[in-house]
Amino acid sequence: MIKDNFGIRKSDIINRRMFIIGAAKLIIFGGIIARLFSLQINDNKKYLTLSDKNRIREWKLPPTRGNIVDYFGNIIAGNLKIYQLHVIPEQVENFNYLISRLKVILQLSNTRVERIKKKKTQLKPWESLIISENLSWDEFSKINNYLYELAGVKPVMTISRDYPFNDIYTHVLGYVSQPNEDDILANEIIQEKFVPGIKVGKLGLEKTLENDLIGINDIQRYEVNAYGKRINQLEYQKGKQGSKIRITLDTEVQKLSAELMKGMAGSISVMDIYTGEIIAMYSSPSYNPNSFLFGISEDEWQLIRNNPLKPLINKTLSGLYSPGSTLKPIVALSALENGIMDTNFKVQCKGKMELHGQTFHCWKEKGHGWMSLNNAMKQSCDTYFYEIARKLGVDKLKVTADKFGLGKKVLGEYFENEKAGQFPDTRWKINEIGKGWVLGETLITGIGQGYTQTTPIQLCLMTAQIANGGYKIKPKILTDDNQLTSEQVKKAMKDNNLYNSHIPLFNDQKNIKIIQEAMFSSTNELRGTSYKSRIDDPKYQFAGKTGTAQVKRISKRERELDLKIFQIPYEERDHALYIAFGPYKNPRYALSIIVEHGGSGSSAAAPMATKLFKLIVDRHQYRKKLPDYKEFNI
Amino acid sequence: MFQHTRLNSDQNFFQKVKNLDYILLLSILILSTLSLFVMYSTDGGELLYHTKSHFIKLLVFFALMLLISFFNIKFWHLSSYFLYGIIILLLIWVSIYGIKVSGSQRWMNLYFLALQPSELMKIGIILCLAKYYHRVSVEKVNSFNSIFFALTIILIPIILVVSQPDLGTSILIASSGLIILWLGGVKIKYFFFSFITFLISLPFIISNLQPYQKLRILTFLDPDRDPLGAGYQIIQSKIAIGSGGFSGKGFLQGTQSYLDFLPEKHTDFIFTLFSEEFGFIGSIGLLLLYLIIIIRIIRIGVISRSSFAKLFCFGFAFSIFIYITVNLSMVLGLLPIVGSPLPIMSYGGSSMLATMIGFGIVLSAKVHSKQAIA
């Protein structure tokens, strides 16, 4: 009985204490349910987002670049389907065996194989290893024949930049290649769109208009697991090709320029004298931009880099030359404008001129005799220009030269490597060289030698502004119908049709007419320096001025020897220059030609103008038919 | 006089079958079936190793549970100390010859099962203390000798398990043991003073913790501290549960687990996967199922005649509750990660074996509820 009592008392205690705990249990279960409620009901959205962020990963694909077309819509920088060979390492059973097979099939070099093996170690096993960026069709079909035995090998079709005209547009367009660290750091848009395999502009318009050309990436959304491996594709978001860019150049004229300059160093620029549209802009020699797409080979690069004709320099914009006699129209114009002389003013040329004991030679040793402005321009008499330069003074000359665009960048908004050149005056010399101006320097400045440095495009602009009756124009390389985002380019486009505002560069338009006539004489009258290159048909007839720029001072001995051009070493030969506009009756185009070390302007440069004007005038018919053509009459 | 030595019950087989608790059995069966589906989901929707192995273990241990239930509760009372002693020996054996996995030595290889004696000790401690408090008289419960003896019974396995090291299991063993002390009538003030002492000595305990244990506590306090390292499990688990929402992502649709973001999804984090796929509704359902099991066990304790059966049932019910609470709090980010499985649901033979043995003894108590034990 006693035992039983104990038992009852004990079970009372046990039961009582049990229920205390039971209550505690319910409270704790309630807490857990509250927690579940807070996570799953209250914060459900937050955790759903986090869960999606966990499992969904985006893969960007390289965007397709916008096409660049010439004035007539021909694609000059397009996109080409190419074949690539990728390997997915995790699908490969024996990587070394596979590589040795591929080595045989594609005839890969040992260094290539080493590079591929090194690259493999840097990749995750499910990431594509690019074996070949650009397979030829033969290689591609060969690989496809062996595919059954090459597990993990993936032939891929993708898109690459293509320059169908190879080297003729290189200095205008530049080229694209894989971005380096600087490219990525300098441009936020490249940063944002960067994916392995993307190509970005390295030079020229490809670089300047990068943000418009680059396009929008295609995006693949994949579900991934915790280790980042793709499980399945959820979405494919199509990107957008970059904007199409239309430029003002005419491929036919550009082609002819390249042909004319073949084997020579120099530049040809052609410009519409009213709209400022650049019709051709060719720097010779050029190089093939397609070589850079998949990384240029060391041999090819060395060949380009070490070429003595310097293909890497855009001579049209960055080549600095003494204008030589091509400056004479500006010198004469300045003299007329400042009332230093008139058309009746005459100077006697005896072949040389003495000043303060220094002798200044005319190119014609025997002298030209009595020269008027028209004659002096026609025969390019140096003595006449020494004399009017002396009377004019360099400071007044500089005012006129500045107005016509010498010493200033012409297309600086588009080409960061363009040079401004310089046109000296007395203040410039004190500031830059620290010495006072000497009168003798005025004389040689008057014939385009000395400190004056001009680019071919500046000479072309100068000629165009003389040809259009002396009105200011703004050269342009993009047509007005381009829709662009880049601020600097938009700013440049604002001044596009400057001719319409008729800002005169002259005091008296008669003076411009006189210069035009003098240039006409120089080309179309007997004894004119470019008489041999004239075209009599008024449809093509043009007016021009030759120039021969010395690259070194001619010594007394050399003057006496009177060497023929082939007797002089290449680097010491004169640069040949020619500026012209046409057709003379109703001018529309101006051009400048420079042949480095080509000898005299009349023999090396002027004959090119003949061929160019024939084509340019013929091409005008086609330009006229386009909707954005505008007629101008003086 | 010698009735207590007679282990054969006066009930025949059919009477015993009739006396089983069918609501409890049904709940266990539902839970087992559910666990199979969840295991199937952790295998990525394929009938793979974990699912098959879990199925076989369920089958064997369920049968074992029924077998145990047919033994008279007196038998379990009689063999309590013996079983406790056996498990202590196993723990010692493991500490010498056990298999070492990721730094802790907890397992013994039985070829068909990697047995973790510390899991068995969760039941062993209840059996042993239930027998002790069944025998000790109410007056002596609070005597020094009695409390000292009880604490010694708890401390021996705790020391062995902590040294494996396995803090999580040792805490569970300790709480299972202490609850019997509580039920047995140890004065509330002792619990109160011990708790105060524990709080005071907490800094000292923390300074003696293993670096990884300290890291777990720090991570629990701020999971975002190191989101890809120590906090990863808690964060991913919370994301999975939270993204499940009201009705879940659907069976086999749990992206977090399917895409391997969930760590240890077969074992400790099984509830995370379940909750991701079945949502708030499913989780409440699972909790209800556990609650029914616990209530049935308590009910069996209430109707049992002997103190031993009562103590065991209440103690075991409390243990089940503690396992669930600790596991859920852990995956819900309410407690540091201590490594405790969810009964029946989690993959793992030892935990399931221990739980099924527990159920078996409870069912034995039910079948033999009229049985008095001297």
In the listed set A206, A224, A246, which residue is the last one of a domain according to the structure?
A246
Domain count for chain A, please give it.
2
Q: Give the 3-state secondary structure percentages of chain A, helix then strand then coil, rounded to 5.
A: 45, 20, 35
Looking at residue A455, what is its pLDDT?
96
Asked if the structure places residue A437 within a domain, the reply is yes
Is the separation of the CB atoms in A204 and A172 below 8 Å?
A: yes
Query: In this predicted model, what pLDDT tens digit does every residue of A110-151 receive, in sequence order?
Result: 888 888 888 888 777 767 788 888 888 888 888 888 888 888
Q: Which domain holds residue A196?
A: 59-246
How close, in Å, is residue A123 to chain B by CA atoms? Answer: 21
Asked if the structure places residue A52 within a domain, the reply is no
Whether residues A317 and A330 fall in one domain: yes
Backbone torsions φ then ψ of A172, nearest 5 degrees: -90, -50
Whether residues A111 and A242 fall in one domain: yes
- Bridge pairing between strands A219-224 and A230-237: antiparallel
Asked if the structure places residue A281 within a domain, the reply is yes
ipTM: 0.89
Whether residues A197 and A259 fall in one domain: no
Looking at residue A88, what is its pLDDT?
80
Q: Is B315 on the interface with A (CB under 8 A)?
A: no
Whether residues A133 and A257 fall in one domain: no
Nearest to A14 among B256, B314, B325 (CB): B314
CB contact (8 A) between residue A226 and residue B261: yes
pLDDT for A2 beyond 50: no
Query: In this predicted model, what pLDDT tens digit does every residue of A485-495 receive, in sequence order?
Result: 877 777 777 76
Task: Measure the CA angle with vertex A24, ends A18 and A27; round to 5°.
Answer: 145
Buried b (16+ CB within 10 A) or exposed e, A406-443: bbbbbbebbbeebbbbbbbbbebbeeeeeeebeebbbb
Whether residues A65 and A92 fall in one domain: yes
Asked if the structure places residue A558 within a domain, the reply is yes
Looking at residue B32, what is its pLDDT?
95
Whether residues A537 and A572 fall in one domain: yes
Whether residues A479 and A337 fall in one domain: yes
Nearest to B307 among A10, A46, A227 (CB): A10
Whether residues A285 and A407 fall in one domain: yes
Cβ-in-10-Å burial (0-12, 13-18, 19+) of A395 comes to: middle
pLDDT for A189 beyond 70: yes
Question: CA B92 from chain center: how many Å?
Answer: 21
d(CA A575, CA B253): 78
Rounded to 10 degrees, the C-alpha dihedral A500/A506/A508/A513 comes to: -80
Q: Is A30 on the interface with B (CB under 8 A)?
A: no
pTM beyond 0.90: the answer is: no
CB contact (8 A) between residue A32 and residue B332: yes
Asked if the structure places residue A42 within a domain, the reply is no
Lowest mean pLDDT among A110-119, A167-176, A439-448: A110-119
d(CA B366, CA B249): 40
d(CA B233, CA A26): 28
Looking at residue A8, what is its pLDDT?
59
Is the separation of the CB atoms in A9 and B138 below 8 Å?
A: yes
In the listed set A212, A228, A246, which residue is the last one of a domain according to the structure?
A246
Looking at residue B2, what is its pLDDT?
43
With a pLDDT cut of 70, the percent of chain A lying above it is 97
Chain B residue with minimum CA distance to A49: B243
Whether residues A201 and A239 fall in one domain: yes
In the listed set A246, A272, A291, which residue is the last one of a domain according to the structure?
A246
Q: Is B310 on the interface with A (CB under 8 A)?
A: yes
- Bridge pairing between strands A153-162 and A347-349: unpaired
Whether residues A408 and A384 fall in one domain: yes
Q: Which are the contacts of B112, defined by CB distance < 8 A and separation ≥ 6?
A: none
d(CA A344, CA B145): 140
pLDDT for A334 beyond 60: yes
- Run of H or E including A100: helix A95-106
Q: Is A17 on the interface with B (CB under 8 A)?
A: yes
Looking at residue A4, what is its pLDDT?
44
Query: In this predicted model, what pLDDT tens digit does every residue of A548-599 receive, in sequence order?
Result: 998 877 777 777 777 777 788 888 889 999 999 989 999 999 999 999 999 8
Is the separation of the CB atoms in A315 and A283 below 8 Å?
A: yes
Lowest mean pLDDT among A210-214, A370-374, B2-6: B2-6
How close, in Å, is residue A140 to chain B by CA atoms? Answer: 36
Amino acid at A40: Q
Rounded to 10 degrees, the C-alpha dihedral A338/A343/A349/A352 comes to: 20
- The residues of chain B scoring below 50 in pLDDT are 1-5
Q: Which residues pair with A376 in a beta bridge?
A: none
Asked if the structure places residue A17 within a domain, the reply is no
Query: In this predicted model, what pLDDT tens digit does every residue of A232-261 receive, in sequence order?
Result: 788 888 889 999 999 999 999 999 999 999
Q: Which of A1, A14, A41, A47 to mutate to test the interface with B (most CBs of B within 10 A)?
A: A14
Q: Is A225 on the interface with B (CB under 8 A)?
A: yes
CATH number, domain with residue A228: 3.90.1310.10
The pLDDT confidence band at residue A278, using thresholds 50, 70 and 90, is very high
CATH number, domain with residue A482: 3.40.710.10
Whether residues A262 and A191 fall in one domain: no
pLDDT for A90 beyond 80: no
Looking at residue B5, what is its pLDDT?
47
Q: Which residues pair with A230 in a beta bridge?
A: A224
Looking at residue A519, what is its pLDDT?
95
Amino acid at A449: Q
Nearest to B138 among A6, A48, A224 (CB): A6
Whether residues A265 and A192 fall in one domain: no
